């Protein structure tokens, strides 16, 4: 019976939003050649390839991009969610773009990805300085929490979470990373999950909890990619 290894990417295999360490990449590629490896990340395919390189991406059995709403096996698309936010949501978000007292708008405020939308008042074209100004504003005013709360109380079947530094992630309720477990239905199979955000508000929480509930499942909280490497070596040697 084969053992399956599932990894978060950001903060688990790479520094947050950063590129994988070269020594770790060499070690991890070998690990992928002798084990069944799967990745699950909130990022899209292009961003993940930028972070871990295309050869490493292709060594994984499957990569679950966009939290499992856009699934690839190498360069082949396995499936993709066609979900879109409803028109009323666009009106609510456009209303916030008008009403927010944060003064700067840089464009690209509503980014649609498979299975989700990312909303940002300052906009995704913001410079580092503009992002920092928004973070400061949001820390004081809790704007994103307010917007997420309004969306969550208005729509039962849609969930909004504060994500990253300036954004809000909006997706169908339940379509978090745990949705990938539909591909892992053989409960006799051993499955290990590694993530850096296994805490109640973290994006690895739902999948880690679901895996822990399985007889042959184990979730591993890691501090960073070095810790992942260390824990993997301990586990497999
Ligand atoms: Mg992470």
User: What is the pLDDT, as a whole number, of residue 224?
Assistant: 96
How far is the centre of ligand 1, averaged over its atoms, from the C-alpha of 51 (Å)? 13
CA neighbours closer than 13 Å in the CB half-sphere of residue 21: 16
User: What is the pLDDT, as a whole number, of residue 39?
Assistant: 98
User: What is the pLDDT, as a whole number, of residue 79?
Assistant: 97
Question: Do 77 and 182 sit in the same domain of this protein?
Answer: yes
How far is the centre of ligand 1, averaged over its atoms, from the C-alpha of 99 (Å)? 32
Integer CA distances (angstroms), 58 to 114, 149, 165, 210, in order: 20, 39, 30, 26
Q: Which domain holds residue 135?
A: 87-172
Provide the domain count of the chain. Answer: 2
Integer CA distances (angstroms), 207 to 65, 181, 182, 221, 236, in order: 14, 8, 11, 12, 22
**pLDDT digits 0-9 by tens, 136-188:** 999 999 999 999 999 999 999 999 988 778 999 899 998 899 999 999 998 88
Question: Do 145 and 195 sit in the same domain of this protein?
Answer: no
Question: Do 10 and 69 sit in the same domain of this protein?
Answer: yes
Closest CA to 181 of 40, 83, 79, 78: 40
We report the CATH number of the domain holding residue 8 as 3.40.50.1000
Question: Do 30 and 9 sit in the same domain of this protein?
Answer: yes
Is the Cβ–Cβ distance between 124 and 108 less than 8 Å? yes
User: What is the pLDDT, as a whole number, of residue 203?
Assistant: 87
Which of 172, 199, 223 is a domain's end point? 172
How far is the centre of ligand 1, averaged over its atoms, from the C-alpha of 8 (Å)? 6
Is the Cβ–Cβ distance between 6 and 192 less than 8 Å? yes
We report the CATH number of the domain holding residue 130 as 3.30.1240.20
Question: Do 59 and 100 sit in the same domain of this protein?
Answer: no
User: What is the pLDDT, as a whole number, of residue 72?
Assistant: 98
- Token pair of 215 as six digits: 């007889």
Question: Do 63 and 11 sit in the same domain of this protein?
Answer: yes
User: What is the pLDDT, as a whole number, of residue 1?
Assistant: 61
Question: Do 56 and 121 sit in the same domain of this protein?
Answer: no
Q: Are strands 110-113 and 116-120 parallel, antiparallel or unpaired?
A: antiparallel
Look up tokens 């399956």; give the residue. 4
How far is the centre of ligand 1, averaged over its atoms, from the C-alpha of 193 (Å)? 12
Which of 126, 151, 172 is a domain's end point? 172
Question: Do 118 and 154 sit in the same domain of this protein?
Answer: yes
Question: Do 168 and 180 sit in the same domain of this protein?
Answer: no
How far is the centre of ligand 1, averaged over its atoms, from the C-alpha of 11 (Å)? 5
How far is the centre of ligand 1, averaged over its atoms, from the C-alpha of 196 (Å)? 5
Q: Are strands 76-80 and 70-73 parallel, antiparallel or unpaired?
A: antiparallel
User: What is the pLDDT, as a whole number, of residue 159?
Assistant: 93
Is the Cβ–Cβ distance between 41 and 10 less than 8 Å? yes
Residues 101, 44: Cα–Cα separation, whole Å: 31
Helices 143-154 and 128-141 sit at what angle, rounded to 10 degrees?
A: 70
Question: Do 157 and 189 sit in the same domain of this protein?
Answer: no
How far is the centre of ligand 1, averaged over its atoms, from the C-alpha of 184 (Å)? 21
How far is the centre of ligand 1, averaged over its atoms, from the C-alpha of 57 (Å)? 17
How far is the centre of ligand 1, averaged over its atoms, from the C-alpha of 211 (Å)? 17
Question: Do 12 and 73 sit in the same domain of this protein?
Answer: yes
What is the mean pLDDT of each successive set of 10 residues along the chain, which is 237 residues long? 91 92 98 97 94 98 96 97 96 97 97 93 94 96 94 95 85 92 92 94 91 95 98 93
Residues 136, 229: Cα–Cα separation, whole Å: 35
Q: Quickly list DSSP for 91-131.
A: HHHHHHHHH-------S--EEEETTEEEEESS-TT--HHHH
Reduced to 3 states (helix: H, G, I; strand: E, B; else coil), residue 194 is strand
- Token pair of 222 as six digits: 């890691």
Which of 172, 188, 220 is a domain's end point? 172
How far is the centre of ligand 1, averaged over its atoms, from the C-alpha of 10 (Å)? 4
Question: Do 107 and 165 sit in the same domain of this protein?
Answer: yes
**pLDDT digits 0-9 by tens, 124-145:** 999 999 999 999 999 999 999 9
User: What is the pLDDT, as a whole number, of residue 122?
Assistant: 97
Integer CA distances (angstroms), 116 to 80, 84, 161, 184, in order: 11, 7, 11, 23
* Number of residues assigned to the chain: 237
Residues 108, 119: Cα–Cα separation, whole Å: 9
């Amino acid at each position: 019976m084969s053992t399956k290894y599932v990894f978060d990417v950001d903060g688990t295999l790479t520094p947050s939003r950063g590129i994988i360490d070269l020594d770790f990449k060499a070690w991890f590629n070998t690990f992928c050649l002798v084990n069944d490896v799967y990745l699950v990340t909130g990022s899209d395919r292009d961003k993940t390839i930028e972070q871990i390189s295309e050869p490493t991406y292709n060594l994984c059995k499957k990569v679950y991009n966009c939290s499992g709403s856009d699934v690839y096996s190498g360069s082949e698309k396995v499936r993709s969610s066609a979900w879109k936010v409803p028109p009323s949501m666009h009106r609510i978000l456009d209303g916030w773009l008008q009403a927010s007292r944060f003064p700067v708008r840089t464009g690209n405020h509503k980014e649609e990805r498979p299975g989700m939308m990312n909303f940002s008042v300052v906009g995704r074209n913001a410079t580092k300085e503009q992002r920092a100004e928004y973070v400061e504003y949001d820390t004081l005013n809790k704007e994103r929490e307010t917007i997420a709360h309004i969306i969550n109380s208005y729509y039962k079947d849609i969930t909004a979470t504060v994500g990253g530094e300036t954004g809000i992630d909006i997706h169908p309720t339940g379509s978090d990373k745990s949705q990938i477990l539909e591909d892992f239905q053989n409960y006799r199979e051993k499955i290990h999950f590694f993530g850096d955000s296994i805490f109640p508000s973290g994006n690895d929480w739902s999948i880690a909890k679901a895996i822990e509930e399985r007889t042959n499942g184990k979730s591993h909280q890691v501090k960073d990619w070095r810790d992942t490497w260390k824990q993997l070596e301990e586990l497999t040697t």
